[in-house]
Structure 1
Amino acid sequence: MTGTHAAADDALPVANGRKTAGEVWRLSRGHRLRLAVVAILGIVSTTVDLIPPVAIGFFIDRVRTGTAGLGTVLTVTAAMALSAALGAAGTAVTIVLATRAYHAILAALREELVARALTLPQHTVERAGTGDLISRSSDDVTAVADAAPAVIPVVTVTAFTIVVSLGGLAALEWPYAVALAVVLPVHVFAMRWYLRTGPRVYRAERAAMSARAQQIVESQRGHATVLGFGLGEQRHRTVMTASWAVAVQALRARTVQSMLNARLNLGECLSLTAVLVTGFVLIGHGASTVGGATTAMLLVLRLLGPVNQLMFVIDTLQSALASLNRMIGVTTIAVADTADEPPAPRDPAHAVRLEDVTFGYGTGPRVLEGITLDIPTGQRVAVVGASGAGKSTLASVIAGIHPPGTGTVARPASTVVITQEIHVFAGTLRDNLTLAAPDATDDQLRAALDTTGAAGLLDLLPDGLDAVIGVGGHPLTDAQAQQLALARLLLTDPDLAILDEATAEAGSTQSGLLDRAADAALAGRTGLVIAHRLTQAAACDRIVVMEHGRITESGTHSGLIAAGGVYAALWSAWEAGQGT
């Protein structure tokens, strides 16, 4: 993608400096007048701060000539006090305005990041790892936001101070400006070295943080598996290894900062020496005064102070810029990836059409091979097969979660997928239902619950639709959560509904209830059912049998039983198992 690069082939992209600058400039639209006021006010306030060095030099020359009196002292003192007050006030207002603009732009970027993250295709997130996206949405946003108090005052003041101090030094006596310009390349080379080295180090640090976040997320999501297989110690070592990788990258970053300090200290010593030697020569030839040399030294010291402050926050600044590049990398990739949606079938009589579709995860073997499938509009099709046959992968490809490796997929734009893993959001029951239909009335919500057999849930919850469920609220059973998902499907009213073992309450007393709920949710719409129980498949209009990523049989329940093939054998085994 133009303007971005990735640390790894599957990682989410990281925007380069030019792309980041362009996006920040775009986001600054609406704040540019305030930024212009910041620039003008910053220059004025730092110009006022030039008065004390000039006043001190003037006072020294008057003292040397014996013309200084009480009036001179009072005048110099008043000028310095007034300039200090005006300069401090102007600097404070400048920082406040700059901070407001900074946070306004950051808020807009954060909103775009969240919006793009929620629309990223699942296959893109899975390839990069959910930890990477979580790190960009949390660690990187925090790094950029937390940098504001430290970076904005220093960068704002430093930028204007450097420009005004150099201009003042040149206006005082140009040889002093020339002397400083001779050693200025030392600072320039130091910063160029750091800007060339620092971003790479900080990108590596952020990448290590993403890897650590991925390991932590996987350990938390697979907590039951970790406990069941006794993998606690192994997962602990894995997380510790990832954490040490973060520590190593952090030490590299601190080492780079120390090397920068050494270079800037050298530049500082050379700057003071150059101005002192120039003053000595000019005074010896009568081309300058002690007061002029003092003013020049004070201006250089005044220039070095902000530079030293910048040195202490450059670490934070580079870390924030690295995080900003990663955030903008997400906001720019999402537009391209989400634009590649499978087209709707040209033939309205068919809701889904697959032609010679193949698919494999990454560089692994193909999971789907030569799949050609048509699903007529309004028909309910079941997909059955042994574990690993490719059933869920087929559902994901049809849903658009994974793009096919080869072949074409056409499906309706309005498609809803429900899997066995149902998420109940922390909030009220009404909030969980209106996620699917924000404008739905309470009567419509109750009707959806009633259709899916979940109306009794309202009687169990003390506050009905206003009852808090999920984390921190009333816990729902797996069956109740699946009924909630089916109610969402009804409220969404999609053209195509895909149930990927969505009612797989295997062996529970709720299986019949969930099957009836699924039947009600699929009534009158095209449905694809990845059947966990063959009774689900038997209730569908057509059954597709998969083996090793291929469709080996297709037909009605009675037709496949009569054919005596794979499905007939599966059905006989199912009936035998149910009879035991």
Structure 2
Amino acid sequence: MSGAAATGAAPPEGGLPVADGRETAVEVWRLSRGHRLRLVAVGALGIASTGVDLIPPAAIGFLVDRVQAGTADPGTVLTITAVMALSAVLGAAGTALTILLATRVYHTILAALRERLVGRALTLPQHLVERAGTGDLISRSSDDVTAVADAAPAVIPVLTVTAFTIVVSLGGLAALEWPYAAAFAVVLPVYALAMRWYLRTGPRVYRAERAAMSARAQQILESQRGYATVLGFGLAQQRHRAVMTDSWGVAVQALRARTVQSMLNARLNLGECLSLASVLVVGFVLIDHGASTVGGVTTAMLLVLRLLGPVSQLLFVIDTLQSALASLSRMIGVVTLPESAGEPTATVEAGTAVRLRDVTFRYDGGPRVLDDITLDLPTGQHVAVVGASGAGKTTLAAVVAGIHPPDAGTVTRPDHVAVITQEVHVFAGTVRENLTLAASGATDRDLLAALDATGAARLLDLLPDALDTRVGTGGHPLTDAQAQQLALARVLLADPDLAILDEATAEAGSAHAEQLDRAVLAVLAGRTGIVIAHRLSQAAACDRIVVLEQGRIAETGTHAELVAAHGGYAALWSAWERGQAPSRANGS
């Protein structure tokens, strides 16, 4: 957020939004830009290929009439057979080409949507993702994308061929004898009622199924990410029950969806029975009155039989289509989530990098974690935030960084902010790729300089392929200290205006404390910095110290001033020194 005052907008209720039908249609239409001529070509080719498929029923009806009249001969049979074979080849080729073109357009549009989804997901405010649950976002970018992609083999042939078949076949029935088309049209309300019932029932069931999948994904993700905590506190059985409970929830919703599918199938079978019966009755009446021939009735019946399959497929594939549309709406709900609205700018004095005015914050309506925080950070100053566990240090860092918007008050920060927490992540890839994430244009010389500044130059000597060594999942393992040095080097390469280190070196333990303290000083040199201090040696090295107690600023000043004041910080420092004495004695 570039120098703007954050006033704290609440995220959508229930987390990440789901697009409605209109929003989904508008976004799909927008994504189809550049592909619309190909879509018109698909439609024209589909109508032509299904029109060719009308030839076999008409040819069989013609042959029946010739046989009944006694005028059929082997040449007639051969001619009709050749015509039917040729029409079958042309129809199949046209259908295959239609499906091929439609599939290419479909997957091109889906690829563009997937890229937009991932791009938007990476820029979502962290507070919004946390409130919705990380599993929801992961489900939308994995399960929902898969559902939409997997729907292609079932949906594309139906929507690109079957719809054309219905239109062309109805036209053929009307051209043959209009009562045949009327007889079939009388039965269409059965299909319409089936469609109406399904559209009122299916979407709700599929949304519930997708929501259950998101809940299961959240439970699995939390169990994996908190694996050490689960083992350490003996929570394996509890987490297992939680995952199993949500998995059974998915199973129940899936059974509901399959039940809806079976009920739709029963309604379609009823429609097929009534369609055949109505055309047969009309054909009998027409023949009885000399208005049609046996061949005409045969052609009509073949056209109806040819229609029944596509009509059932069109309605039945809606089962798959509705599931895909539910997933598509969830994807587009993220894609169309508006960027943070322009916020009122705050006046800030020259030379001030960060300003907080009357800031309060609470998590989901709970007690206040930050209470009436007012603070100014001059440009270039290094400020340490200390306090007991639960005092609000990490929350303050998150509010300053813009991760959490305040419930009240304003926050002004520089344009470019970098945050490192104690949960340092090593990405799967080479050391070079891990570093250039922060600066894509950095040269190897820049990377080596950043590693040297953070004390990690020796790390390359320990790696088999230096900068080209693969680290992270499946790669060369790094110690906690090495991972933190890598993260600190990334901050140097990113060159932010404000660096926030939230206990960024806590995980490495005391064995590498001095080395990491020097790395932190190198990272903070020449820029504004906020350090959530795990070790008070880091706080003592900062220009200024802020002491938090129960979400309020209790003390602020330099290390010397606070020690001389004999307040809360002085007590913390005294306890820290006593704790370090045995370590120094053992090391001497």
Superposition TM-score tier, normalisation by shorter sequence:
over 0.9
Distance 1:567 1:10 in 2: 41
CA contact (8 A) 2:556 2:562 kept: yes
Match of residue 166 from structure 1: 170
Give the TM-score taking structure 2 as reference length: 0.95
CA contact (8 A) 1:499 1:528 kept: yes
In structure 2, list runs of 5 or more residues that go unmatched: 1-10, 583-588
Moved more, 520-529 or 59-68: 59-68
Distance 2:578 2:461 in 1: 39
Distance 1:506 1:213 in 2: 31
CA contact (8 A) 2:481 2:508 kept: no
2:523 counterpart of 1:521: yes
> Quick one: which of 358, 361, 370 aligns to 1:359?
361
Match of residue 8 from structure 2: none
> Quick one: which of 332, 335, 339 aligns to 1:336?
339
Q: Give 3-state SS (helix, strand or coil) of 2:496's partner.
A: coil
Deviation at 1:332, TM superposition (A): 1.0
Match of residue 260 from structure 2: 256
Alignment deviations for residues 303-323 of structure 1 (CA, whole Å, 9 cap, x no partner)? 111223345544322221211
Match of residue 428 from structure 1: 430
CA contact (8 A) 1:344 1:411 kept: no
> Quick one: which of 140, 144, 147 aligns to 1:136?
140
Identity %: 79
Distance 1:220 1:62 in 2: 74
2:228 counterpart of 1:228: no
Matches within 5 A, 1:397-416: 397-416=399-418
CA contact (8 A) 1:345 1:412 kept: no
> In the alignment, residue 413 of structure 1 is paired with which amino acid?
D
CA contact (8 A) 2:420 2:500 kept: yes
Match of residue 374 from structure 1: 376
CA contact (8 A) 1:343 1:411 kept: no
Match of residue 441 from structure 1: 443
Distance 1:344 1:429 in 2: 40
Match of residue 96 from structure 2: 92
Distance 2:373 2:223 in 1: 35
Distance 2:268 2:375 in 1: 68
Distance 1:22 1:171 in 2: 38
Q: Give 3-state SS (helix, strand or coil) of 1:15's partner.
A: coil
Deviation at 1:79, TM superposition (A): 1.6
CA contact (8 A) 2:198 2:264 kept: yes
Q: Give 3-state SS (helix, strand or coil) of 1:510's partner.
A: helix
Distance 2:454 2:87 in 1: 75
Distance 1:466 1:88 in 2: 52
Match of residue 153 from structure 1: 157
Q: Give 3-state SS (helix, strand or coil) of 2:151's partner.
A: helix
- Give the number of the structure with larger relative contact order, counting CA–CA contacts within 8 Å between residues 6 or more apart: 2
RMSD: 1.6
Distance 1:401 1:8 in 2: 16
Deviation at 1:61, TM superposition (A): 1.8
CA contact (8 A) 2:264 2:316 kept: no
Distance 2:122 2:510 in 1: 34
Match of residue 58 from structure 2: 54
> In the alignment, residue 268 of structure 1 is paired with which amino acid?
E
Give the TM-score taking structure 1 as reference length: 0.96
Deviation at 1:287, TM superposition (A): 1.6
Match of residue 4 from structure 1: none
> Quick one: which of 26, 38, 48 aligns to 2:42?
38
> In the alignment, residue 71 of structure 1 is paired with which amino acid?
G
CA contact (8 A) 1:342 1:410 kept: no
Deviation at 1:454, TM superposition (A): 0.6
Q: Are the structure 2 counterparts of residues 180 and 312 from structure 1 closer, same or farther at C-alpha, using a change threshold of 3 Å?
A: closer
Match of residue 567 from structure 1: 569
2:327 counterpart of 1:323: yes
Distance 1:81 1:42 in 2: 19
> Quick one: which of 220, 242, 262 aligns to 2:246?
242
Match of residue 196 from structure 1: 200
In structure 1, list runs of 5 or more residues that go unmatched: 1-6
Alignment deviations for residues 25-72 of structure 1 (CA, whole Å, 9 cap, x no partner)? 111111111111110000000000001111111222222223323332
Q: Give 3-state SS (helix, strand or coil) of 1:425's partner.
A: coil
Q: Give 3-state SS (helix, strand or coil) of 1:378's partner.
A: coil
> In the alignment, residue 436 of structure 2 is paired with which amino acid?
T
Match of residue 284 from structure 1: 288
> Quick one: which of 28, 31, 35 aligns to 1:27?
31
